[in-house]
């Protein structure tokens, strides 16, 4: 029995190789062959033998081979063998560094790039180089490498480079990281405040444009306002000139979101709102609505981002009905209020517009990004609200509320205009002298109007 089974232990039996083993050996052979070819082409690049073109980049000379470059890039193919091919063998490149172009050549000849050793700026420049010469594989590899290198401390410089170099695909990658991981993250905002990085106005506009589809978060508003403050400092402008820069950014004016507490939430909206009232000083002559005076104007400026949710105004005075001996009148205690409320943005005159345009990174105006009416110095109606048949008591405070929060930007003076219809002609509204500053919000009454009938605001703090 032992002699029968002994050969099976002492002599190896060669079993037929499975398909998976054969495939593994084949792949190993192919990889070894590819590596061998890569080494050959890499040696050809470094030896500078048989070269037929020379690239001059910032004093450096890089000697290459037209045929190898043309097989990797359609741009090089058109440059060397197309109808408009270069007649000279020496080519000067001005928009790429010698180190980055050398990495491009290493990839074309050997197919190898050590992304781990590259900084984020180097990877972005290499991406620009790959995109310029339409090398798709290298472009995709750079996108993956850049996405892995994005951090809190380098995302803003990355966005700045993407905007300045007009790298749209890379801008989408960086903006996605900024939107998902930074702008709604209080931890990033704290880090940004402690380690501030200033970017150009075009970069800020790109950030605002990327977040227009989403509800504006209070972190974005704070981020933009901090940038405006620093931009004023960089340009040597005064604090009050910050409004000019903010106007030029064209922030969204409605649909404001206050992080976890949405303004449009139907659960306990009153608890989310703040109400402030001006201090009463002295009664004035009532305001009488008629054909010539059917509007009331008030200016408001705040020192922070707020979402305006409503107004507090004085309701009508009880109608003055002359007593008659043979008739008995029942004076009503309520009436139906009908009026229109308009929020108007300030106009920018020629001198202010020049200041606003000078805040750009290149000092030139971008007329396509400006609202036509604002650029021409005409007031802009940002928002309207109609009060229709609101049952209101005479001689009391009238609270006018609306659902969507209207974004008011710091240091910009907005005009609030109340307009009555013809059915209100003859009505009287009490006016009084009131305080002009309450909790960081400044009220300015028109001098032609004695006193004011607007007593306060309802709003939500966003910052």
* pLDDT tens, residue order, the chain (463 aa): 444 444 444 445 444 557 666 666 666 666 566 666 667 777 888 877 888 899 999 889 999 999 999 999 999 999 999 887 777 788 999 999 999 999 999 999 988 899 999 999 999 999 999 999 999 999 999 999 999 899 888 999 999 999 998 899 999 999 988 988 888 777 787 778 778 888 998 999 999 888 876 555 677 888 888 888 888 888 887 766 777 777 777 666 555 544 443 334 333 344 468 899 999 999 999 999 998 899 999 999 988 778 899 999 999 998 876 555 455 567 788 999 999 999 998 765 334 444 444 444 444 434 334 333 444 456 778 888 999 889 999 999 999 998 878 888 777 889 999 999 988 999 999 999 999 999 989 999 988 888 899 999 999 887 5
Helix residue ranges per DSSP H, 178-217? 186-194, 201-210
Query: Within this chain, do residues 117 and 263 fall inside the same structural domain, yes or no?
Result: no
Query: Within this chain, do residues 269 and 392 fall inside the same structural domain, yes or no?
Result: yes
Q: From CA 261, how far away is CA 108, in angstroms rounded?
A: 53
Residue 173's H or E segment, with its range, is helix 168-177
pLDDT in the model for residue 26? 67
CATH number at residue 58: 3.30.710.10
Q: From CA 318, how far away is CA 429, in angstroms rounded?
A: 9
Q: Does the residue 52 lie in any domain?
A: yes
Q: Which residues contact 157 (CB under 8 A, 6 or more apart)?
A: 120, 121, 197, 199
Query: Within this chain, do residues 266 and 390 fall inside the same structural domain, yes or no?
Result: yes
pLDDT in the model for residue 270? 43
Query: Within this chain, do residues 288 and 432 fall inside the same structural domain, yes or no?
Result: yes
Q: Does the residue 440 lie in any domain?
A: yes
Q: How many helices (H) and strands (E) does the chain have?
A: 16, 17
pLDDT in the model for residue 350? 37
Q: Is 343 within 8 Å of 382 (Cβ atoms)?
A: yes
Q: From CA 82, how far away is CA 147, in angstroms rounded?
A: 36
Q: Does the residue 164 lie in any domain?
A: no
pLDDT in the model for residue 70? 94
Query: Within this chain, do residues 137 and 268 fall inside the same structural domain, yes or no?
Result: no
Residue finishing a domain among 87, 118, 149: 149
Q: Does the residue 235 lie in any domain?
A: no
**What DSSP designation does 150 have?**
-
CATH number at residue 278: 2.60.120.820
Query: Within this chain, do residues 131 and 276 fall inside the same structural domain, yes or no?
Result: no
Residue finishing a domain among 131, 149, 167: 149
* Number of domains composing the chain: 2
Question: Can you read off the two tokens belonging to residue 304?
Answer: 């922070």
Residue with tokens 């004035």: 284
pLDDT in the model for residue 112? 86
Query: Within this chain, do residues 310 and 438 fall inside the same structural domain, yes or no?
Result: yes
Of 330, 321, 341, residue with least CA distance to 420: 341
Question: Can you read off the two tokens belonging to residue 408?
Answer: 């008011």
- In three-state form (DSSP H/G/I as H, E/B as E, the rest C), the secondary structure along 10-24 is HCCCCCCCCHHHHHH
pLDDT in the model for residue 285? 92
Query: Within this chain, do residues 137 and 279 fall inside the same structural domain, yes or no?
Result: no
Q: Does the residue 99 lie in any domain?
A: yes
pLDDT in the model for residue 215? 56
Q: From CA 246, how far away is CA 411, in angstroms rounded?
A: 9
Query: Within this chain, do residues 285 and 420 fall inside the same structural domain, yes or no?
Result: yes
Residue 401 belongs to what domain range? Answer: 258-320+330-349+379-461
Q: Does the residue 26 lie in any domain?
A: no
pLDDT in the model for residue 369? 40
Residue finishing a domain among 99, 127, 149: 149
Q: Does the residue 226 lie in any domain?
A: no
Query: Within this chain, do residues 314 and 432 fall inside the same structural domain, yes or no?
Result: yes
Q: Does the residue 271 lie in any domain?
A: yes
Query: Within this chain, do residues 269 and 125 fall inside the same structural domain, yes or no?
Result: no
């Amino acid at each position: 029995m032992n002699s029968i089974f002994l050969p099976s232990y002492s002599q190896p039996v060669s079993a037929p190789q499975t398909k998976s083993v054969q495939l593994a050996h084949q792949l190993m052979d192919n990889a070894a062959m590819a590596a061998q070819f890569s080494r050959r082409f890499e040696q050809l690049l470094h030896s500078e033998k048989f070269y037929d073109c020379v690239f001059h980049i910032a004093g450096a000379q890089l000697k290459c081979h037209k045929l190898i470059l043309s097989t990797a890039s359609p741009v090089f193919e058109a440059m060397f063998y197309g109808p408009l091919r270069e007649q000279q063998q020496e080519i000067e490149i001005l928009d790429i560094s010698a180190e980055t172009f050398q990495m491009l050549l290493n990839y074309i000849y050997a197919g190898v790039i050590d992304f781990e050793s590259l900084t984020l700026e180097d990877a972005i420049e290499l991406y620009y180089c790959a995109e310029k010469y339409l090398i798709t594989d290298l472009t995709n590899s750079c996108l993956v490498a850049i996405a892995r290198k994005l951090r809190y401390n380098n995302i803003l410089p990355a966005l700045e480079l993407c905007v300045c170099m007009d790298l749209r695909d890379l801008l989408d990658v960086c903006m996605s990281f900024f939107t998902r991981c930074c702008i709604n993250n209080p931890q990033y905002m704290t880090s940004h405040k402690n380690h501030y990085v200033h970017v150009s106005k075009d970069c800020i506009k790109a950030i605002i444009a990327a977040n227009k589809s989403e509800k504006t978060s209070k972190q974005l508003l704070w981020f933009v306002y901090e940038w405006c403050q620093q931009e004023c400092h960089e340009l040597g402008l005064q604090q009050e000139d910050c409004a000019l820069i903010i106007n030029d950014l064209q922030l969204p004016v409605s649909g404001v979101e206050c992080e976890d507490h949405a303004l449009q939430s139907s659960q306990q909206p009153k608890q989310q709102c703040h109400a402030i009232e001006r201090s009463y000083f002295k009664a004035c002559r009532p305001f009488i609505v008629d054909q010539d005076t059917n509007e009331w104007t008030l200016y408001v400026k705040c020192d922070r981002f707020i979402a305006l949710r409503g107004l507090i105004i004085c309701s009508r005075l009880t109608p003055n009905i002359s007593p008659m001996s043979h008739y008995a009148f029942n004076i009503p205690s309520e009436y139906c209020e009908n009026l229109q409320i308009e929020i108007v943005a300030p106009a920018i005159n020629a001198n202010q517009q020049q200041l606003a345009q000078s805040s750009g990174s290149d000092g030139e105006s971008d007329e396509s990004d400006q609202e036509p009416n604002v650029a021409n110095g005409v007031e802009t109606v940002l928002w309207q609200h109609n009060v229709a048949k609101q049952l209101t008591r005479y001689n009391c405070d009238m609270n006018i509320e609306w659902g969507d929060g209207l974004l008011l930007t710091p240091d910009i003076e907005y005009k609030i205009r109340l307009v009555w219809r013809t059915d209100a002609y003859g009505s009287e509204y009490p006016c009084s002298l009131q305080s002009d500053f309450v909790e960081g919000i400044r009220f300015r009454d028109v001098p032609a109007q004695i006193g004011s009938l607007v007593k306060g605001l309802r709003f939500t703090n966003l910052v």
